[in-house]
Chains A and B, each alone.
Chain A
Amino acid sequence: MRAADTVQFSWRVLRGSRTRTLLILLAMGIGVAAVVAVSSIGEGARLYVVNQFGSLGTNLVSVLPGRSETAGAMPGVLLGRTPRELTLDDALSLKRSTAIRLLAPLIVGAGDVRAGARRRETTVLGSTAELMAIRRMEMTQGRFLPAGDPRHSQPVCVIGAKVAAELFGARPALGEWLRIGERRFRIIGILASQGESLGFNTDDIVIVPLAAAQALFNTEALFRILVEAKSREQIAQAKADIETILRERHEGERDVTVITLDAVLATFDRILRALTLAVGGLAAISLAVSGILIMNVMLIAVTQRRAEIGLLKALGATAAQIRLAFFTEAVLLALGGAVLGLAAGKFAQWAIGQIYPSIPFTPPWWAVIAAPLTAIATSVVFTVLPARRAARLDPVRSLSKR
């Protein structure tokens, strides 16, 4: 029998019993669609996290006060003592390292911000001019904090888009005065809207010079030091330099934690990949279930088409040809289901993407390949039994009953 004829024969069988065919296609399609949709959610989450880190710059190294021996524990909490503070001098001393391009000390606090009669509580960041480059910030109006000696400060500030909108509405905010606590700052710039970026919503912050923040919050202690390595390859060198320099300054004690974003990113990447694989695998179970459905339907078909199978044998069909006819039918069903499922999965991914536009939902390449392959493999595996049963039918008995 020619291959084209085998396919055509099975195609006519499928067309001949439309309801049955449609139901199997539906089951197969749902299975494939589930794998594609679910894994694209997982992959979307992974890409979201990766992009978030990417927007910070993957060459970023954070220096935190206190030493954490195990990831996840708060520095100092385990030992029950307050870590030594990180100071501006600590930060400036890091400039000795050749692996470091930029660094920005950071103080974070909550401030009561007022403009005229309006007021709101918002996050106040104290830092230096370098922060803009390190955090990849952009301005819509004005400029960022002026460069200069971080120990001295001018009474200026940069505000986020949301803060500007809420305090000034449609009025121009640039050049206006803002009161934070008991201090006054002139607004010299407004940040472009960047949205959420790892916990900080840059739309909803006010950035003031470091020295001003020190005075405002009455502290010398830095929240952290953000460091940008000269290149990806120099991240390790930068980390080593930071640890050496700060240990020297802290009487030989290693009492800071240096986190490279690169390592964090790799960890997140691994975890989310595994998660995606796991949920994709769960969805694949529904494919196995539709395989059982195929087996069921095929077994019924063997009974229903007994006379036809007997006839084919009388006409000279070999056992192999009968088996092949059933397998072809199963593969056609699986292919049809896979195409339907891929389309439906893509549509579902698009639909979820419309609801959460910030997350880049996309099915991972392995899901797009594995889902149809699983569909085909399961339908072939589950057709082995019905096909063998059909091929073994005794033609005399199959033909004797009408």
Chain B
Amino acid sequence: MIRLSGIERVYHVGTDEVHALRGVTLEIGSGEYVSIMGPSGSGKSTLLNIIGLLDRPNTGRYELDDRDVTGLEDDELARLRREKIGFVFQFFHLVPRLTAGQNIELPMVLAGIEPPERSKRLRRLLAEYGLEDRAHHRPAELSGGQCQRVAIARAMAMGPALILADEPTGNLDRHTGQEVLAVLERVHTGGGTLAVVTHDPEIGERSGRRLRMVDGAIVSDSRD
């Protein structure tokens, strides 16, 4: 599903050059559950952003579903993100003025899906993530765990094949974090591909495949 080869990503901070990724070559198959771990600044998030088409590598080649996406136009990338990729963030990134239901609906609105179809899907998602009684609440009225469940439901709204989560439990207490993780893992059991960036070794244990990064390079890649 995902094939990265020789990916380099260099940031310019003032006059310094920061090598966030150095020659990353990686293949992730369809339906895999991958955790990406490593110390801060090791390039985990950069890797996730490149996989998620939010960032572009300076050199290297990226194939998504056997298609080279390295040189695509911004609008084409946006279309791929919309249809194939769902994001879950550490800080949820819910739109504060919208209700939980409206937040979940947002990707479908951006995709131009007709309202009847939208509300049908929304009802299903709310039921699936146990948010039916929270649909009309705003994020400020929800707990952290509920917020993240809304965010996951939103990521799943367009039925993407790939879910990318950047520290999804990093802002939650341990118990809630495990709950949220269980919800996230349902994506994997449902046949989707799941990649999670995390600091938490326990999450690493639960994934089928563990990548470890140091200084912008993958130093270990282990599977159960």
Q: Which A residues form the contact surface with B (CB < 8 A)? A: 1-2, 5, 9, 12-13, 15-16, 307-308, 310-321, 395-396, 399-400, 402
List 6 extra interface pairs beyond A317-B82, A399-B93, CB under 8 A. Answer: A12-B102, A15-B97, A312-B106, A312-B110, A316-B82, A319-B74
User: Would you list which residues of chain B between 68 and 103 have a CB under 8 Å from chain A?
Assistant: 74-75, 78-79, 81-83, 87, 89, 91, 93, 95-98, 102
Q: Which B residues form the contact surface with A (CB < 8 A)? A: 45, 49, 52, 54-55, 74-75, 78-79, 81-83, 87, 89, 91, 93, 95-98, 102, 106-107, 109-112, 114, 154, 158
A315 / chain B contacts, CB cutoff of 8 Å: 81-82, 87, 106-107, 110, 154
Q: Which one of B54, B79, B95 contacts A314 once the chains associate, using CB atoms below 8 Å?
A: B54
A400 / chain B contacts, CB cutoff of 8 Å: 45
B98 / chain A contacts, CB cutoff of 8 Å: 12
Chain A minimum-CB-distance residue to B106: A315
B91 / chain A contacts, CB cutoff of 8 Å: 402
Give how many A-B residue pairs fall within 8 Å (CB-CB).
Answer: 70
B110 and A1 form a contact (CB under 8 A):
yes
Q: How far is the CA of A311 from the CA of B82 in the complex (A)?
A: 12
With known contacts A1-B110, A2-B112, A396-B54, A316–B81 Cβ distance under 8 A: yes
Shortest CB-to-CB span from B173 to chain A, Å, is 18
B81 / chain A contacts, CB cutoff of 8 Å: 313-316
B54 and A1 form a contact (CB under 8 A):
no
A5 / chain B contacts, CB cutoff of 8 Å: 109, 112
A308 / chain B contacts, CB cutoff of 8 Å: 93, 95
B78 and A1 form a contact (CB under 8 A):
no
Interface centre among A311, A313, A320, A321 (most CB of B within 10 A): A311
Shortest CB-to-CB span from A300 to chain B, Å, is 16
Q: How far is the CA of A5 from the CA of B114 in the complex (A)?
A: 10
B154 / chain A contacts, CB cutoff of 8 Å: 315
Chain B minimum-CB-distance residue to A305: B95
Q: How far is the CA of A314 from the CA of B114 in the complex (A)?
A: 21
Q: How far is the CA of A395 from the CA of B74 in the complex (A)?
A: 11
Q: How far is the CA of A314 from the CA of B87 in the complex (A)?
A: 7
Chain B minimum-CB-distance residue to A13: B97
Shortest CB-to-CB span from B206 to chain A, Å, is 25
> Which 9 residue pairs are nearest across A and B when measured between Cβ atoms?
A316-B82, A16-B97, A316-B81, A318-B78, A315-B107, A311-B93, A318-B75, A5-B109, A395-B54
